[in-house]
């Protein structure tokens, strides 16, 4: 991870902060906000990697081609790493990106939605905002999010505890580490 106080070094710190907020929002059953915070966490981790020397510029990442589009960022990230094991997250990235479309509640009020953010992917409760017609579905499992974030920490060479130490203290640390054995082990070993 590049040193100093450049935008590149701030991306993982902010990503971890969004990750903590997402886990807290999930626990508080604030599903649209949790999904959006998870989206931001992944977006910032991907941008952190893609800003490393030899990849893309901040200006290019902020442009229309990439912007907040995590499927495009994900494809570029995978192209750079050439790691076929990352393909297992493609569907999750696509589902997570759908939460960007409900960043603002306008469409939710117009179309309604079924939102499910569950702990394990085997669970699938639906929360229906509109029961009169078919509605868009937004579904995420927290265990998939935790797995993806741990993979991103590895692939981006980010030590989350060193990068965002305040995120591991008090209530923030409790939510970050809750039901996340991989991150618990990572913290214990550092």
Residue 5 confidence (pLDDT): 62
Largest CA distance in the chain: 54
Residue with tokens 């590049």: 2
Specify the long-range contacts of residues 172-181, CB closer than 8 Å, at least 24 apart: 172/20, 172/24, 175/20, 175/23, 175/24, 175/27, 176/16, 176/19, 176/20, 176/23, 178/23, 178/27, 179/119, 179/142, 179/143, 179/146, 180/146, 180/150
Residue 124 confidence (pLDDT): 60
d(CA 33, CA 71): 19
DSSP letter for each residue of 74-128: HHHHHHHHT-GGGGGGHHHHHHHHHGGGGSSTHHHHHH--EEEEESSTT----EE
Residue 2 confidence (pLDDT): 43
Beta bridge partners of 127: 115
Q: In which residue ranges of the chain is pLDDT below 70? A: 1-8, 118, 121-133, 190
Token code pair at residue 2: 């590049």
Residue 167 confidence (pLDDT): 75
Q: State pTM to two decimals.
A: 0.85
* CA 69 from centroid of its chain's CA atoms: 12
Token code pair at residue 95: 């589902």
Residue 1 confidence (pLDDT): 43
């Amino acid at each position: 991870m590049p040193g100093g106080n450049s935008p590149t070094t701030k991306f993982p710190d902010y990503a971890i902060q969004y990750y903590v907020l997402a886990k807290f929002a999930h626990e508080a059953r604030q599903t649209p906000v949790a999904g959006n915070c998870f989206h931001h966490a992944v977006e910032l981790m991907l941008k952190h990697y893609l800003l490393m020397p030899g990849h893309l510029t901040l200006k290019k990442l902020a442009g229309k081609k990439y912007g907040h589009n995590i499927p495009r960022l994900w494809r570029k990230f995978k192209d750079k790493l050439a790691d076929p094991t990352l393909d297992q997250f493609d569907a999750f990235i696509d589902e997570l990106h759908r939460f960007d479309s409900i960043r603002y509640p306008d469409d939710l009020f117009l179309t309604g939605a079924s939102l499910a953010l569950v702990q394990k992917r085997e669970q699938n409760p639906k929360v229906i905002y509109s029961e009169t017609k078919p509605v868009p579905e937004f579904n995420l499992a927290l265990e998939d999010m935790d797995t993806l974030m741990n993979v991103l920490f590895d692939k981006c060479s980010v030590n989350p505890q060193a990068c965002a130490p305040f995120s591991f203290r008090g209530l923030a640390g409790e939510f970050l580490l809750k039901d996340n054995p991989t991150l618990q082990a990572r913290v214990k070993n550092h």
